Structure 1
């Protein structure tokens, strides 16, 4: 599966870098703010190899659809998308029993 575009091929066609998805575009959007209110997800073996701190291990994998497209099961993005949907429903009291309500501190 080629989830990102071949940079050299896209440039050869005259398409600017800002118009195609490269391998570093998604992490740049997610990891801003030193992880605050964001969900950087990765592989545990790489975190261990790189000596990164692991604050939590969450096992949740599900496809998420926006009504037009459905994602390939991806634990990180599906978990993030589910959190966004759940947070938009919190005021209506529709939290599933297995979701803990997040607290926001600023």
Structure 2
């Protein structure tokens, strides 16, 4: 079984997008492995105009987090908070864990 490099609950850094968006961090809310996308809180907010329905008689504009391709985010280093790659390291017992490539810090989860 392959170990995922980015999981739900991880803090990630946005690598692409407009200058004011780049470098922002957020927590992963959902991972969509079949589409290679993640949903991150507070990043890539989209708006959808909704017509009034029986469930939502008011209608209006919904704001929600849209999925981002996984290649456009990087895990935040637990030590510095900057973007880092992830290494998967096995300990003496053969148990695998995720480690930040820049600082060598163990990533929780």
Structure-2-length-normalised TM-score: 0.23
Query: Which has the larger share of helix?
Result: 1
Query: Which has the larger share of strand?
Result: 2
Which structure has more RCO (C-alpha within 8 Å, separation ≥ 6)?
A: 2
Structure-1-length-normalised TM-score: 0.23
